[in-house]
Amino acid sequence: MQNNKNNLLQYVDFAKNIRKGDWNAAKDFLRLYPEAVSKQISYSGNAALHIAILGGHTNIVEELVKQMSEENLEIKDNDDMALKLLEHYPSLATSLDMRGESPVLALACMSFAYPSGNQLIFWKQWIYHRIKQIYELKLLHYQSAQLLSRVCYELPGLSDQQLSDARVLDAVLKAIQKGLIEFVIAVLSTKNELVWSKTEETSRNTFMWAVQHRQLKIFCLIYRCHIKNAILPSVDIKNNNILHVAAILDSSSGLRTVPGAALQMQRDLQWYKEVESVVHPFLLESTNKDGLTPRELFTETHKELVDKGEKWMKETATSCTVVGALIITIMFAAAITIPGGNDSNTGLPLFLNSKVFTLFIIRDALSLLSSSTSILMFLGILTSSNAEEDFLESLPRKMIIGLSTLIFSIATIMITFCACLFIILHGKSWMVIPVICLAGVPIALFTLTQFRLLIDMFNSTYGSGIFD
């Protein structure tokens, strides 16, 4: 506490000069101690900018903002500073700081400030809407929406040059790249012509930018605009059309969130097919500066991913084939070696009329059949040519059937084992029940390790599609 008090004392004169509106004296102090621009200089946590705003000294506010970075503008007193700053001085929404960045660009870079920028798993999403524990996150999103609203309020009256100077165009493209649909909706609904925005380096428009970074919601949002047919045929500086862009494998795109090389390959194929379905047919055969059509470019840029996907598929199929073969061997032996033995006169099983024996023999047969089906599917993967188109549906379908039947086979083999124990240890439930409980462990472990992959692959293959 004492150290904090001493730190504040050195800024007493500085704070007093700002409060009085004496910028010359304050500027002299900042020349000696430039770090003071970002320090909290009062007991209430106010920075110099807070004091200038409260004092109504517009000239000092403007001078301080020029010397402050984005991080400095996020300094808080007891009352959220950026929003109040814009409420008092709306024109600052498009002003540049000392690094040439504007508030609108800063908003487009803050993924955490929007719901779409926070990838919460399902139970956290439930908590987000119902429990107070994530109150601060919701408050941040609410305040960010207010701040964005204030910024957008200033946009309609700006000229193209003013928009460019305030880096609003850069902000839109940055938000598209990050998938911040709230930002894109707010800005484009305020300034519709920004949908024509292009990157400086590649001259790619908003459609291309959304496809390049695999942002589904953003692309669908922009696709609804009435001028889409005029924008879709555009090309970049290398004469790539939007289908060329869909064909390019970009390591920085949203595909990095898809697990496994095979699923990445499938997702990229789906993107290409979906974009192909919404463009004019003449774009399919148009060539870029390298003389490549979109399909040729897709093949060229996806060679390595195809190899990785093929390797992943075959390694997974090989491992699962071994497990399936072991199950077939065990269950076939169990069907021949009947628990309890056979009647010496008739040759029929001694427990033929027992309900537990019926459960045993049915589950044994089901395990044998399902594991056989699983092996056939995995052998189909191992012998496949693994062409590009195979990753779209053929290979994933075989993997889904193979994994599903293998999981079912493991579950039934455990049930068969438990039924066998009931027959052999009849009347000794104190021994059988604990073993039955433990028998569920391998089923749970295998399911946990493979179920997520199975669900991802099923949704990716049989879901509603890229553009829903």
Q: What is residue 120's predicted lDDT score, i.e. its pLDDT?
A: 58
Tokens standing for residue 262: 């095979």
Q: What is residue 4's predicted lDDT score, i.e. its pLDDT?
A: 47
pLDDT tens-digit readout, 315-334: 999 999 998 998 898 888 88
User: Which of 279, 301, 323 is the endpoint of a domain?
Assistant: 301
Instruction: Give just the sign of the alpha carbon dihedral 247, 252, 253, 255.
Output: positive
Mean pLDDT of 127-151: 68
Residues 319 and 424 in one domain: yes
Which of 280, 292, 189 is CA-nearest to residue 234?
280
Residues 265 and 164 in one domain: no
Whether residue 48 contacts residue 41, with contact meaning beta carbons closer than 8 Å, is answered with yes
Residues 255 and 340 in one domain: no
Whether residue 54 contacts residue 17, with contact meaning beta carbons closer than 8 Å, is answered with no
Three-class SS state of 122: helix
468 lies in some domain: no
Mean pLDDT of 194-200: 84
pLDDT of residue 56 exceeding 70: no
282 lies in some domain: yes
Q: What is the pTM of this model?
A: 0.66
pLDDT of residue 78 exceeding 50: no
pLDDT of residue 79 exceeding 50: no
Q: What is residue 1's predicted lDDT score, i.e. its pLDDT?
A: 42
SS (H, E, C) 399-456: HHHHHHHHHHHHHHHHHHHHHHHHHHCCCCHHHHHHHHHHHHHHHHHHHHHHHHHHHH
454 lies in some domain: yes
Residues 294 and 318 in one domain: no
Structural domain for 159, as ranges: 93-197
Total number of residues shown for the chain: 468
Q: What is residue 295's predicted lDDT score, i.e. its pLDDT?
A: 94
For residue 454, give Cα distances in angstroms to 265, 316, 390, 412, 462.
16, 12, 18, 19, 12
Q: What is the rounded distance in angstroms from the CA atom of residue 395 to the CA atom of residue 420?
A: 37
Q: What is residue 2's predicted lDDT score, i.e. its pLDDT?
A: 41
Whether residue 46 contacts residue 77, with contact meaning beta carbons closer than 8 Å, is answered with yes
Collect all residues with Cβ–Cβ distance below 8 Å to 49 and sequence separation of at least 6.
61, 64, 65, 68, 72, 73, 75, 81, 85
pLDDT of residue 130 exceeding 60: no
Q: What's 247's domain CATH number?
A: 1.25.40
Residues 20 and 128 in one domain: no
Whether residue 459 contacts residue 396, with contact meaning beta carbons closer than 8 Å, is answered with no
151 lies in some domain: yes
For tokens 């380096």, the residue is 201
316 lies in some domain: yes
Query: Which residues, listed in sequence order, are joined to residue 198 by a DSSP beta bridge?
Result: 205
pLDDT of residue 182 exceeding 80: yes
Q: What is residue 16's predicted lDDT score, i.e. its pLDDT?
A: 84
Residues 314 and 458 in one domain: yes
Q: Using 50, 70 and 90 to split pLDDT, how confident is the model at 413?
A: confident
R_g of the chain, CA atoms, integer Å: 32
User: Which of 53, 79, 105 is the endpoint of a domain?
Assistant: 79
24 vs 422, which has greater pLDDT? 24
Residues 117 and 179 in one domain: yes
The listed range with the strongest mean pLDDT (66-80, 98-112, 231-245) is: 231-245
Three-class SS state of 175: helix
Lowest mean pLDDT: which of 50-54, 253-257, 298-302, 303-307?
253-257
Q: What is the rounded distance in angstroms from the CA atom of residue 63 to the CA atom of residue 45?
A: 20
For tokens 């301080």, the residue is 64
Q: What is residue 289's predicted lDDT score, i.e. its pLDDT?
A: 93
Q: What is the rounded distance in angstroms from the CA atom of residue 419 to the CA atom of residue 136?
A: 53
pLDDT tens-digit readout, 25-52: 888 888 888 888 878 777 656 778 777 7
Collect all residues with Cβ–Cβ distance below 8 Å to 406 and sequence separation of at least 6.
320, 323, 324, 370, 371, 374, 450
pLDDT of residue 418 exceeding 50: yes
Q: What is the rounded distance in angstroms from the CA atom of residue 400 to the CA atom of residue 308?
A: 19
Q: List, as one string, the DSSP characters of 73-98.
A: HT---SS-HHHHHHHH-GGGGG---T
Q: What is residue 104's predicted lDDT score, i.e. its pLDDT?
A: 66
pLDDT tens-digit readout, 368-399: 999 999 999 999 999 888 788 899 999 999 99
User: Which of 178, 197, 216 is the endpoint of a domain?
Assistant: 197
Q: What is the rounded distance in angstroms from the CA atom of residue 415 to the CA atom of residue 423?
A: 13
Q: What is the rounded distance in angstroms from the CA atom of residue 11 to the CA atom of residue 39?
A: 9
Residues 111 and 253 in one domain: no
85 lies in some domain: no
Residues 373 and 445 in one domain: yes
Helix (H) or strand (E) holding 225: none
pLDDT of residue 238 exceeding 90: yes
Residues 386 and 423 in one domain: yes
Mean pLDDT of 54-63: 75
Lowest mean pLDDT: which of 57-71, 285-299, 313-327, 447-461?
57-71
Residue 8, phi then psi, degrees to nearest 5: -70, -30
Residues 334 and 447 in one domain: yes
467 lies in some domain: no
155 lies in some domain: yes
Say how many domains are in the chain.
Answer: 4
Mean pLDDT of 277-301: 92
Three-class SS state of 107: helix
Q: What is residue 3's predicted lDDT score, i.e. its pLDDT?
A: 43
Mean of pLDDT over the chain: 79
Residues 27 and 168 in one domain: no
Share of the chain above pLDDT 70, in %: 77
